[in-house]
A and B are shown apart, each in its own frame.
Chain A
């Protein structure tokens, strides 16, 4: 596609529910990132994929957060037993190269998750 797409754009969940957020990166992009943006803050890194391999998950806040990219394209971020503090915008970004310099990230529109 022309850009990174994410779905749903908005998600309301009751506390304790599981949610799944989808990211479709730019076609051919090797790297995929998930970020969490709380209200009034800058995005914070959650996890990084190089193709289907999850190489960095240091930013995932708890074991309730799980991400996958099984075929190296579409990625899903899953949050189990959602809590109110999980309310945020979840951003996906992709980039063409694996690692190193000159690696520009392109962002999707985000999914706004509200946990009641």
Chain B
């Protein structure tokens, strides 16, 4: 079945550690890719998106993600995390024709001060 996979369900890091969250999708053809973040008690917010062009995209708060088409991956990275990055992170794919977002199951990140 077509899907979006996030391999890390829970990640615990200390402040200043580097972060990489994996995301793989199983759709062929043209895809739009997204990372959303949900801070405690808040709604889903867009962190970054890839539509076309440079496969390395930069988002808010120092996050970036790299689209590797051959690996069907869109991993999220941040060189140095902060306590305020504690949140749940969702990868999503939008097939252009349908418009709906297909989400992964999410990764809960806890950053310890």
Contacts and interface: CB of A to CB of B under 8 A. Distances in A.
Interface string B1-37: 0001000000000000000000000000010101010
Contacts of A106: 46
A59 B51 CA distance: 25
Interface string A102-116: 111111111000000
A82 interface: no
B56 interface: no
Interface residues of A, number: 27
A5 to B, nearest CB: 10
- Main SS at interface, chain A: loop
A48 B43 contact: no
Contacts of A95: 99
Contacts, number: 65
Contacts of B51: 101-102
A42 interface: yes
Nearest to B36: A107
Given A40-B105, A41-B105, A42-B90, A104 B46 contact: yes
A62 interface: no
Contact of B103 (A40, A43, A56, A110): A43
Interface string A29-46: 001010100001111110
Nearest to B38: A107
B107 to A, nearest CB: 10
B102 interface: yes
Contacts of B52: 101
Contacts of A45: 100-102
Interface of A: 31, 33, 35, 40-45, 48, 56, 59, 91, 93, 95, 99-110
7 contacts: A31-B99, A42-B106, A100-B99, A101-B52, A104-B34, A104-B46, A106-B46
